[in-house]
Structure 1
Amino acid sequence: MARGTVLMGMYQAGETAFPIALGLIVEHTMRDRSPGSLALAITALAVISTTVSLSWRFGMRVLQKANTTEAHRWRVRVAACGLQPVAGGSGLKSGEVLTVATDDADQTADLIEVVPLLISSLVAVAITAVALGMASVPLGVLVVVGTAAILSVLSVLSKRIDTGTREQQARVARAGAKVADLITGLRPLHGFGGNHAAFASYRTVSSAARDQAVGVARVSGAYAGTAQALNAALAATVTLTAGWLAFEGRIGIGELVMAVGLAQFIMEPLKLCANMPKYVMVARASAERMALVLTAPPAEPPAAEPLAAGGGLALDAIRYGSLRDLSFQVQAGEFAAVVARQPAAAADLVALLSASVPDDAYDGTVRLDGKSTADLPVGAIRAHMLVNPANAEIFAGTLRTNIDPSGTSRAIPEAVEASLLTDVVALHRDGLDHPVRDRGANLSGGQRQRLSLARALAADAEILVLHNPTTAVDAVTEQLIARNLAALRRGRTTVVITTSPALLDAADRVLVVDGGTVVAAGTHRNLVAGDEGYRASVTR
């Protein structure tokens, strides 16, 4: 910014020097019309033109590089914060965070370029005032007073733009969030015919954003018109005043030429100064929205000792959502299954184990290897226990990058075989490098689910929690996956939340949750034989 400000100041000084030089040349030429004077005048104008050209070229290069670099830094910071768990949340949906990480980051970084341009414009106004003041004090005072009056009037008008701009950006972000939600749920929306209603809801949100944008544009147009009129009035006043002073013989012809040239030139810096409040308001509104993401407190308690390899999982008197005094323990190396007769209980259990629920939002204790998760950093919990939700995301890339996003897994072949993703790999010439579209659009539902399962298995977590990992596959495939899963995870702690008979039969122990608490436990076959309610829940 400093380098750009200096260079743009030189540019504006050069632009201002041009009409001053013309005035001096005219004044000097009237006294001395020699070839030497002509050569000196041409040289002076060439130096000024070169200074203007080079300072603009390199000044804008420096400022735009700084602008884009700063925008990149903000985008990365917002994205990093958006991907980290927070204690209270920012109050923004994922689609809004996307807008913050793109548009708002760019608009905030625009100040890197705008502020030096403002300073250089004020330099031009100052030089103009001094030059005209040296020719005639009234002209210099007129420029100073006129500039101050214009900026004061525009400062009052800009307050209306400020309020409208903030609301416009918020509404546009909400419309973006609605689009993200609709794209995420496009398949089920088409499935039950809700796409028209969903589109109507988006139209309502988008219309509100449009109306607000039109209102802001109307105010901005009035602001720009007022600014242009005031600038033109000042230029005309300076020109007429200079003509009157020349007519009275108080300034010479050269000074008149200089005054007329500066009056025309000063309109551009004043226009830039007039637009500054608008840029500042937009940038400030964007910065406040970024602050919602950047200042959200991280859900990271004080660091604790790292968890040992292996270890079990225990829940003690958990009360959260539909869970009521839920208590159970999974021993290290055990393959346990949980049957939740109410789907809400399964969803609440998954949210709790995935560390998506703040510690103060539930009662009871969750322990990993005997240590309370409330005393562990979220990163340590997730490094030790991987929770794979039923609706796990599939990302644009390849099969390989979806299975092993970090590129560090050594268990990819075993994970592919255990999840029966082998047929998908063999079906394509590129194998694991076969392209995958955004959200797995070129894969079937079963293929996406098996790809998600392969990713969970390739992570080789100490404790693995799976939620309905086989709901989209056929019974034969499900039976083979259950067998492979039990074999691959032998000796590692595994919890599967499911009602699949194949997975339940492969588990060492089944826990039945009803009414938010464990009501039965045992092997799948014993429960089928002795518990009619369980048999009705899981048999197909």
Structure 2
Amino acid sequence: MTNTEVRTGPEVRCGKEILRTALRRNAGAMTSGTLLMGCYQAAETAVPILLGVIVEYALRGGEVGSLGLALLGLGLVMATVSYSWRFGMRILQKANTTEAHRWRVAVADRGLQPVARDIDLKSGEVLTVATEDADQTADIIEVVPLLVSSLVSVVITGVVLAVISVPLGVLVFAGTVTILTVLSVLSRRIGANTQVQQAKVARAGAKVSDLIAGLRPLHGFGGSYAAFRSYRRVSTEAKRQSIVVARVNGVYAGLALALNSLLAAAVTLWAGYLTFQGSITIGQLVMAVGLAQFLIEPLKLFSEMPKYIMIARASADRMALVLAAPPRLTPGTEVPGPEGGLEVESVSCGPLRDLTFSVRPGELVAIAAYQPQAAAELVSVLSLETPPDAYEGVVRVGKQDLASLTIESLRAFLLVNPSHHEVFAGTLRENVDPAGTSTKVDEAVSAAMLTDVVALHAEGLGYAVRDRGANLSGGQRQRLSLARALAADPEILVLHDPTTAVDAVTEQLIARNVRDLRRGRTTVVITSSPALLDAADRVIVLDDGAVTGEGTHRELLGRDSSYQLAVAR
């Protein structure tokens, strides 16, 4: 899918633009669908008209052959009803599902991009927008053709009845306008209530997503019941709003049916009155009564369209919240130079104070940060979680400023593996090599000491991992995350506390393996692990957010008492 197929970012400013994009993109399918659905409605309208003509012809003593032709015509009309509906709905539903897919992809793509921190978008909300709201927005592709085809049916009915009797035609047109005016007022209320409901449901989804992510620590300190009560409150609010929407929808549907039936009854009674007066014939009465009964269905469809349009508009507005969210940073156009290496110059941000250091190409450097907040902030800066315009100083990758690089080239060149190890549902192999393109899966698994997990199961790397790694221990999940980072084999790899959940012996082996596997590649390990510090070519000491020492691990142990206290175990 090209970038022009889905408009994201600042171009999408509101729900109206999303709806206009959907309509423009599906103009061809909607035109074909509208023509076919118009044929369907016109053919259905022709059924009571033909029946009236047949009755009138029979009462006047017409020939049997002519009656047979009329019946044949009725059969052709019924065939038109069947096939035009079948193929019309096929075209519209295909366009609908395709458009919903496009918007789901657009929302998912935008949700994976960093956005400004003042935008309150949680993963659970984005999930709801990418599913329910995308589907309801795409419904506009079916709504408009059905609206037009229903209008065709109402117009044909009104014109035919006007030919029979002008007051009958006027009654149909005036009644339709009145019904739509009354229902359009109620549809606005439905749209407003639906938007509130969607927001509350999205909040509930975000809450349960957060709870699942934190289920292990919640169980650990006994907070699961309090968390459940918190979710129940949010879910109850969503339920109450859903009841409000259901109540309004019920009133809308009941009122629409009552008004449509009232109009059909009025047409029937008026036609009967005209027949008793002798103003119209029995055949015309059959025609008028048939049209009046038939009119209920297109009127029902026609009167429901404003409601569906308002729901689509509300969903489009919800999608615009995601698609129009400003990016956290504006990517540049440069790519890292061939020299490689990492430079941090005079960076001040949060706990970091005028931080300056450099890592030469192919060097393994460990950073011992005495304060965890400083380590976390450095990781945030290097991973672009903190954008370049949010801090003072410069970070260079391959001799190019971080702010000037394209996102694609930066992600390919620099990988920052955070301390929180995310594991996904799938196999071990899919977790180690999500893209399926790595040539170093086996080496990475071995270096991360994940071989014991693979050997435990007959499936090997095909062993199924449950959602969030529920069937793995904390140490296994951490080693799996490390294996994934090593398998990616970037030019520059930054590891943040990669061995905090493993035992000392395994940590020693991992430290040696990482050094050997990453030989010739630039690697930065932010850690307090003696094993990793000892494996590094050089250790940079950070205290109070600034560099206070540098040397090998053993040199620092011999001359720096603060370092001894910080890293000795």
Q: TM-score, normalised by structure 1?
A: 0.96
1:525 aligns with 2:554: yes
Match of 1:189 in 2: 218
1:251 aligns with 2:284: no
Secondary structure class of the residue paired with 2:528: coil
AA of the residue aligned to 2:395: V
Match of 2:333 in 1: 303
Q: Distance in 2 between matches of 1:109 and 1:38?
A: 46
Q: Determine if contact 2:52/2:283 at 8 Å carries over to the other structure.
A: yes
Match of 1:9 in 2: 38
Q: How does 1:499-538 map to 2 (within 5 A)?
A: 499-538=528-567
Structure 2 unaligned segments of length 5 or more: list them: 1-29
Q: How does 1:276-315 map to 2 (within 5 A)?
A: 276-298=305-327, 299-304=329-334, 306-309=335-338, 311-315=340-344
Q: How does 1:63-462 map to 2 (within 5 A)?
A: 63-86=92-115, 90-298=119-327, 299-304=329-334, 306-309=335-338, 311-462=340-491
Say which is worse superposed, 471-480 or 85-94, in terms of deviation.
85-94
Q: Offset at 1:188?
A: 1.1
AA of the residue aligned to 2:216: R
Structure 1 unaligned segments of length 5 or more: list them: none
Q: Distance in 2 between matches of 1:205 and 1:87?
A: 25
AA of the residue aligned to 1:111: I
Q: Offset at 1:51?
A: 1.1
Q: Deviations over 1:60-114 (max 9, x none)?
A: 1221111111111211222122223345675311111111111111111111111
Secondary structure class of the residue paired with 1:417: helix
Q: Determine if contact 1:309/1:462 at 8 Å carries over to the other structure.
A: no
AA of the residue aligned to 2:562: G
Q: Determine if contact 2:339/2:399 at 8 Å carries over to the other structure.
A: no
Q: Offset at 1:437?
A: 2.1
Q: Distance in 1 between matches of 2:140 and 2:118?
A: 28
Q: Distance in 1 between matches of 2:332 and 2:273?
A: 76
Q: Distance in 2 between matches of 1:5 and 1:12?
A: 10
Say which is worse superposed, 225-234 or 428-437, in terms of deviation.
428-437
Q: Deviations over 1:150-177 (max 9, x none)?
A: 1011111211112111111111111111
Q: Offset at 1:531?
A: 2.6
AA of the residue aligned to 2:332: P
Q: Determine if contact 1:419/1:451 at 8 Å carries over to the other structure.
A: yes
Q: Determine if contact 1:341/1:513 at 8 Å carries over to the other structure.
A: yes
Q: Distance in 2 between matches of 1:378 and 1:88?
A: 18
Q: Distance in 1 between matches of 2:414 and 2:483?
A: 16
Q: Distance in 1 between matches of 2:521 and 2:59?
A: 98
Q: Distance in 2 between matches of 1:317 and 1:195?
A: 44
Percent identity, please: 66
Q: Distance in 2 between matches of 1:36 and 1:377?
A: 78
Q: Determine if contact 2:332/2:403 at 8 Å carries over to the other structure.
A: no
Q: CA RMSD in A?
A: 1.6
Change (3 A) 1:113 1:90: farther
Q: Offset at 1:301?
A: 2.8
Secondary structure class of the residue paired with 1:302: coil
Q: Distance in 1 between matches of 2:397 and 2:185?
A: 60
AA of the residue aligned to 1:486: R
Secondary structure class of the residue paired with 1:266: helix
Q: Offset at 1:292?
A: 2.3
Secondary structure class of the residue paired with 2:177: helix
Q: Distance in 2 between matches of 1:524 and 1:345?
A: 20
Change (3 A) 1:312 1:496: same
Q: TM-score, normalised by structure 2?
A: 0.92
AA of the residue aligned to 1:58: F
Aligned residues: 539
Say which is worse superposed, 368-377 or 7-16, in terms of deviation.
368-377
Q: Deviations over 1:417-473 (max 9, x none)?
A: 111112222222222222222222222211111111111111111111001101111
